[in-house]
C-alpha cells in the first residue's frame, strides 16, 4: 500500500512540475493555455476517477469471492 501511495504522490508532483514548465515555456496566449490546461486537468481527473472505480469494483468482487463459502464446507 505504501508503494502505491508513493507512486500516486510521484504522479501528482510530476504533474505539477510538468504543468509549471509548460506554463513557462508556452508559446500560446495565457488565456488559451489556461483553457487547454483546464480541459486536460478535467480529462485527467476523469481518467483517474474511472480507474479508481474500476479498481474498486475489481476489489469488491475479489472480496466477495473470498467471503463466499467454499464447496465442501458448511
The answer to whether residue 54 sits within a structural domain is yes
Residue 22 domain-assigned (yes or no): no
Number of domains in the chain: 1
At 72 the pLDDT is: 65
| pTM reported for the whole predicted model | 0.51
**Would you state the pLDDT for residue 29?**
75
**Residue 20 belongs to a domain:** no
Count helices and strands (H / E) in the chain: 2, 0
Average pLDDT per consecutive 10 residues, the chain (74 residues; last block may be shorter)? 84 90 76 86 92 94 90 64
Show the domain range for 49: 28-63
Q: Classify residue 43: in a domain, yes or no.
A: yes
d(CA 46, CA 37): 14
Phi, psi values for residue 28, rounded to 5°: -90, 170
The label of the residue with cell 473470498 reads: 66
Q: What pLDDT is attached to residue 56?
A: 94
Amino acid at each position: 500500500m505504501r508503494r502505491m501511495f508513493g507512486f500516486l504522490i510521484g504522479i501528482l508532483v510530476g504533474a505539477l512540475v510538468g504543468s509549471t514548465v509548460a506554463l513557462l515555456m508556452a508559446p500560446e496566449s495565457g488565456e488559451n493555455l489556461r483553457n487547454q490546461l483546464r480541459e486536460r486537468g478535467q480529462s485527467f481527473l476523469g481518467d483517474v476517477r474511472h480507474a479508481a472505480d474500476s479498481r474498486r469494483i475489481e476489489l469488491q468482487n475479489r472480496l466477495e469471492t473470498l467471503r463466499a463459502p467454499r464447496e465442501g464446507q458448511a
